[in-house]
Chain A
Amino acid sequence: MKVEQISIFIENKSGRLAEVTRILGEAGVNIRALSLADTSDFGILRLIVNEREKAKQVLKDRGFTVSKTEVVAVEVPDRPGGLSQILQSLDRESINVEYMYAFVERCGENAVIIFRFDETEKAITALINNGFTVLEGERLYAM
Chain B
Amino acid sequence: MSYHNEEFETLPRQALEALQLKRLQATVARVQASVPFYRQSFERAGIISGCIKSLDDLRRLPFTVKQDMRDSYPYGLFAAPMDDIVRIHASSGTTGKPTVVGYTRKDIEIWSELMARSFAAAGVHKGDIIHNAYGYGLFTGGLGAHYGAERLGASVIPMSGGNTKKQIMIMKDFGSTVLTCTPSYSLFMAEAAREEGVDFRQLKLHVGIFGAEPWSESMRAEIEQKLNLCAIDIYGLSEIMGPGVAIECREAKKGLHIWEDHFIPEIINPETGEVLPEGERGELVITTITKEGIPLIRYRTRDITSLTYEPCSCGRTHARLSRMTGRSDDMLIIRGVNVFPSQIESILMRIEGVEPHYLLIIDRKDNLDTLEVQVEVDEQLFSDEIKVLQALSHRIEKEIKDLLGVTCKVRLVEPQTIARSEGKAKRVIDNRLIS
Contact = CB atoms under 8 A, between A and B. Distances in A.
Interface of A: 5, 7, 9-11, 16, 37-39, 41-42, 44, 46, 63-67, 69, 98-99, 116
B408 to A, nearest CB: 13
B382 A9 contact: yes
B414 A7 contact: no
A44 B389 CA distance: 10
A44 B412 contact: no
A102 to B, nearest CB: 17
B55 interface: no
Given A65-B377, A65-B378, A66-B379, A9 B386 contact: no
B390 interface: yes
Most buried by A among B390, B412, B416: B412
Given A9-B377, A64-B414, A65-B379, A42 B389 contact: yes
Given A9-B377, A65-B377, A42 B385 contact: no
Contacts of A11: 412-414, 417
Interface of B: 377-379, 381-386, 389-390, 411-417
A39 B392 CA distance: 14
A67 B379 contact: yes
Nearest to A5: B384
Nearest to B385: A98
Chain A's interface: helix, strand, loop or mixed, by majority? strand
Nearest to A68: B384
Nearest to B413: A11
B416 A63 contact: yes
Contacts of B411: 41
Contacts of B416: 63
A3 to B, nearest CB: 13
B414 A39 contact: no
Given A9-B377, A65-B378, A65-B379, A42 B384 contact: no
A116 B388 CA distance: 14
A67 B390 CA distance: 17
26 contacts: A5-B384, A7-B382, A7-B384, A9-B377, A11-B412, A11-B413, A11-B417, A37-B386, A38-B386, A39-B389, A42-B412, A44-B385, A44-B389, A46-B384, A63-B414, A64-B414, A64-B415, A65-B379, A65-B382, A66-B379, A67-B379, A67-B383, A69-B384, A99-B385, A116-B384, A116-B385
B397 to A, nearest CB: 12
Contacts of A66: 379
Nearest to B387: A98
Nearest to A16: B414
Nearest to A67: B382
A16 B383 CA distance: 18
Contact of A10 (B385, B386, B414): B414
B384 A44 contact: yes
Given A9-B377, A39-B390, A42-B389, A65 B384 contact: no
Contacts of A9: 377, 382, 412, 414
A63 B417 CA distance: 9
B386 A65 contact: no
Contacts of A63: 414-416
A7 B383 CA distance: 8
Contacts of B378: 65
A116 B382 CA distance: 16
Contacts of A41: 411-412
Most buried by B among A5, A7, A9, A63: A9
Most buried by B among A65, A67, A69: A65
A98 B387 CA distance: 10
Contacts of A5: 384
